[in-house]
């Protein structure tokens, strides 16, 4: 098992992460979006405002990414090897959403993604 890719990746993450967590142990926690403008979160019963939060850019309205498309068929014909710009036109985050946060000091939070309960 020590030679499989997942074990090697986990070992690498632990090694690299130990240096980044000098102030304390890195940990993942959940929060709830209270409002999006301005961004306000409830984290373990405490209010966290936008000044303490770094957010993944792809969660922001208006974010654009270039993506390669191939093998798709649409009403106007086939798309093969083309590049398209994908834009987030509506907010990804809404009040009431559960989000995954990374922190090492409970003062600064890194909003990694929106999460949902598996059913």
Output the 3-class SS for 63-100. Answer: CEEEEEEEEEEECCEEEEEEEEEEECCCCCCCCCCEEE
pLDDT attached to residue 115: 93
Residue 68's alpha-carbon distances to 39, 46, 73, 79, in angstroms, are 32, 42, 14, 10
Best CA proximity match to 52, nearest among 31, 82, 83: 31
The rounded percent of the chain whose pLDDT value lies above 70 is: 71
Local structure of 16: helix, strand or coil: helix
Top-confidence residue, 63 or 106: 106
pLDDT attached to residue 23: 52
The answer on pLDDT for 22 being more than 70 is no
pLDDT attached to residue 6: 74
Residue 29's alpha-carbon distances to 3, 26, 99, 113, in angstroms, are 30, 10, 8, 11
Top-confidence residue, 85 or 112: 112
pLDDT attached to residue 16: 66
Q: What is the pLDDT of residues 36-48, one digit of tens each?
A: 989 999 999 999 9
Give the burial class of 41: count Cβ atoms within 10 A of its Cβ; 0-12 exposed, 13-18 middle, 19 or more buried: buried
> Stretch 14-22: mean pLDDT, rounded?
62
Q: What is the pLDDT of residues 59-96, one digit of tens each?
A: 887 777 776 766 666 655 555 566 667 676 777 899 99
């Amino acid at each position: 098992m020590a030679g499989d890719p997942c074990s090697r990746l986990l070992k690498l993450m632990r090694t690299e992460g130990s240096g980044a967590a000098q102030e304390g142990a890195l940990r993942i926690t959940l929060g709830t979006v209270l409002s999006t403008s301005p961004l306000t979160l409830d984290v373990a019963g405490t209010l966290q405002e936008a000044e303490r939060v770094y957010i993944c850019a792809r969660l922001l309205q208006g974010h654009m990414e270039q993506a390669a498309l191939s093998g798709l068929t649409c009403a106007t014909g086939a798309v093969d090897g083309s590049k398209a710009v994908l834009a987030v036109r509506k907010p990804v985050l809404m009040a009431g959403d559960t989000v995954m946060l990374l922190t090492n000091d409970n003062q600064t939070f890194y909003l990694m993604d929106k999460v949902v309960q598996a059913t």
